[in-house]
Amino acid sequence: MNLKERITEDMKAAMRARDSQRLGAIRLLTAALKQREVDERVVLDDAAVVGVVDKLIKQRKDSIEAFTQAARLDLADKERAELLVLQAYLPQRLSAEEVKAAVAAVVAEVATEFGRQPGAADMGRVMAEVKTRLAGQADMALVSAAVKAALAR
């Protein structure tokens, strides 16, 4: 069962259980998936679905921060509930050490490609390569920090 089918089955289960909060979050996710499929005229695979889930999670985190600063704890709690539902659809995340190892491998490859040690100016090139390899497997903020640390040496 692929990830889209699992999401659909979870939506049906939430309907049967009359879990309106979970159902709302899953419907939000399915709407985002369908919107992307229509916009790009493709059928999303699991990696693309994880990308959409990642984007929605980042939006929820930003909203929680904004609502907390504005003292709107009711809305922040709603976003937290949606965040928990969305996180269930992400694969197991890599640890900080695994991210550092992957970044070090990419930096070494880029160094051999360039014939020199990459510096801060090459961050875009390194990040692009790391993003393709670790899409959906790691928090990109953690990846960015690891890339900055690796290129600062």
Cβ contact 57:84 at 8 Å: no
| Residue ranges making up the domain that contains 70 | 3-87
- In three-state form (DSSP H/G/I as H, E/B as E, the rest C), the secondary structure along 28-56 is HHHHHHHHHHHHHCCCCCHHHHHHHHHHH
Mean pLDDT of all residues in 21-50: 93
Question: Quick one: the chain helix, strand, coil %, rounded to 5?
Answer: 80, 0, 20
Q: What is the CATH number of the domain that holds 9?
A: 1.10.1510.10
> By percentage, how much of the chain surpasses pLDDT 70?
100
Question: Where does a domain end: 66, 87, 108?
Answer: 87
Q: Among 11-20, 56-65, 138-147, which is the least confidently predicted range?
A: 138-147
Mean pLDDT of all residues in 143-151: 87
Do 74 and 14 reside in the same domain of the chain? yes
Residue predicted with more confidence, 54 or 121: 54
Residue type at 43 in one-letter notation: V
| Residue 15: closest CA among 24, 5, 23, 25 | 23
Total number of domains constituting the chain: 2
pLDDT per residue over 83-139, tens digit each?
999 999 988 888 888 888 888 888 888 888 877 888 778 888 888 888 888 877 887
pTM, whole model, 2 decimals? Answer: 0.76
Question: Where does a domain end: 63, 87, 111?
Answer: 87
CA–CA gap between residue 53 and residue 7 (Å, rounded) = 11
Place of tokens 């049967």: 16
**Residues 38, 42, 44, 48, CA torsion sign:** negative
Do 108 and 81 reside in the same domain of the chain? no
